[in-house]
Chains A and B, each alone.
Chain A
Amino acid sequence: MSYSDKVIDHYNNPRNVGSMDKKDSAVGTGLVGAPECGDVMKLQIKVNPQTNIIEDAKFKTFGCGSAIASSSLATEWVKGKTIDEALAIKNTEIVKELALPPVKIHCSVLAEDAIRAAIGDWKKKQESTKPAELQAAQ
């Protein structure tokens, strides 16, 4: 298996590795994949509630080099984007950017899933925390 230079670069110097507090209401966590399948991605975003802009993103990935690169790239791309802009990221763009071969396309799909899952988690939190905040305000 040969890797593109970009995959190798992300593998050797992964961007935004780490974890944020899952319980923080501004943080959305996406955990996708399964160990039996050989890929698990955890992608977290921190969103500014005023602007809906993703101010920070972190990831950890169990998977092959292409999976690591796909999630590393995903964190780079979502940072600075609004929620809606981040939701528009397509796996095919990741495939193109990293020059993933056909057998590795599932890695990009998983990265897209991870973005969606993190955003979904954040949205859910906003719905459940809003009433509480309103109550507190009253």
Chain B
Amino acid sequence: MSTNTATPISQNSEQHKAPNGIKLPIYMDNHATTAMDPRVLEEMLPYFMEKFGNSASRNHPFGWVAEEAVELSRERIAKLIGATAKEIIFTSGATESDNLAIKGVAEMYREKGNHIITAVTEHKAVLDTCKHLEKYGFRVTYLPVQKDGLVDLDDLKRAIDDKTILVTIMAANNEIGVLQPVAEIGKLCRERGVIFHTDAVQAIGKVPIDVNKMNIDVASITAHKLYGPKGAGALYVRRKNPRVQIVPLIDGGGHERGMRSGTLNVPGIAGLGKACALAQEEMPQESRKLAGLRDRLKDSIMSRLDEVYINGSVEYRLPGNLNISFAYVEGESLLMGINDIAVSSGSACTSATLEPSYVLKALGTGDDLAHSSIRFGIGRFNTEAEVDYVADRVVETVARLRELSPLYEMAKEGVDLKSVKWAAEAH
């Protein structure tokens, strides 16, 4: 039946003439995942075929070659975050790293205490792991965030008690790109003798992270947010001052010093290492470029549309992130109008739950504005011409949808939308 036909994402592309040199659809959702850098792929390829060995095979060259790749990757990752190679454990990605960090620390230090502190805007991999531990007798404090998305250090100070064993707060938020005061949190945790884990998947390779300067004890890393492959991640676990120990989630052959058994994903690991090496080299120029593109997008949109609001701190923010709410326009309908551009929305309609983004709600953004939010994630391969095209399309679509919006009409007539008694206050 023709009415049930799914629309290919590029269907509307023909309706909109792309300026020369732009290929549609445009990918601008780099917090979800990043395209692989061809240099990363090149690094990985030999480990699928001719160098297929198991890095745990100690007595023949096939194993040695694989092990060499793994150890090079370990060094490259460690170097990027100021750690030592022995402090890097390979995992399948960010979710596993977060689980291993939090459950691993909780189980290891159970005797010492049962209290964990996190924040309400954390990724679900952290929040759901904490919720899981609550079922097993752990007490979890979910810190609120301020209007700008940052954790209040005084709140954290007050939350730490003599039973606190772990603070887990992300370095950069995946939705609003806000950078938490990781160094200050680390300092506080060190003073109080509490282990500090940070989910650093969005931050690593984008902004400087130094585990020693920032007193980070455990950090989650993933390759696919960093122009590397999916399914490859790592966990930094501090070995001294203080030495942190974790209980493994996966038992088996004792790989990764017993903390994560299972044959290593050698091609993925080689890719992760290369991605880190590239980031190390290119981060200063790249973050300037991304911040420039981001500001260009922001200025281009905000100079042409009224009632557009940036969600989260502008100052403490990932260079490639822009999360904005377009008042009176629902996010999913906006995405539909710009369907030659890949971005995401905090609107309920994009999720199965019909609840708008919990991160935006935590900032105190009203549900109405949360429904109107769009996250732009600018990455390594985006160009100025793409940014200009995206800005034009967004401005034109928002203007069209506002003409269609009864809320916009009411606001223009001077109606205070907050004072209206809506017919349906609940779903």
Contact = CB atoms under 8 A, between A and B. Distances in A.
Interface stretch (A39-47, A49-57, A84-92, A128-136): A39-47
A117 B422 CA distance: 12
Contacts of B49: none
A99 B404 contact: no
Interface in A53-74: 60-65, 67-68
B261 to A, nearest CB: 39
A40 B422 contact: yes
B423 A31 contact: yes
A28 interface: no
A36 B404 contact: no
Interface in B1-58: 1-7, 11
A2 B332 CA distance: 12
A42 B407 CA distance: 9
Contacts of A33: 422-424
A103 B349 CA distance: 8
A110 B95 CA distance: 38
Say which size band chain B's interface belongs to: 35 or more
A60 B422 contact: no
A61 B405 contact: yes
A3 B336 CA distance: 9
Interface of A: 1-6, 8, 11, 14, 17, 19, 31-42, 60-65, 67-68, 98-99, 103, 106, 110, 113, 117
30 contacts: A1-B332, A1-B350, A2-B6, A2-B7, A4-B3, A4-B4, A4-B5, A5-B2, A5-B7, A11-B336, A11-B337, A32-B424, A33-B422, A34-B422, A36-B367, A36-B422, A37-B348, A37-B367, A37-B425, A37-B426, A38-B354, A38-B356, A38-B368, A61-B405, A62-B328, A62-B407, A64-B330, A64-B333, A67-B333, A103-B352
A37 B422 CA distance: 10
Contacts of A34: 422-425
B426 A64 contact: no
A61 B3 contact: no
A36 B369 CA distance: 8
Contacts of A1: 332, 349-350
A62 B7 contact: no
> Chain A: interface secondary structure?
mixed
B415 to A, nearest CB: 11
Contacts of A64: 330, 332-333, 336, 347, 349
B406 interface: yes
A6 B350 contact: no
Given A37-B427, A62-B328, A11 B333 contact: yes
B336 A35 contact: no
Nearest to A98: B3
B305 interface: no
B336 A103 contact: no
A33 B337 CA distance: 22
Contacts of A110: 424
Interface in B351-384: 352, 354, 356, 366-368, 371
Contacts of A117: 423
Nearest to A117: B423
B330 A39 contact: yes
Contacts of A40: 405-407, 422
B68 interface: no
Interface in B170-206: none
Given A37-B427, A106-B354, A117-B423, 19 more contacts: A1-B349, A3-B336, A4-B4, A17-B404, A31-B406, A35-B417, A35-B422, A36-B367, A36-B422, A38-B368, A39-B330, A40-B405, A40-B406, A60-B404, A61-B404, A62-B404, A63-B349, A65-B333, A68-B404
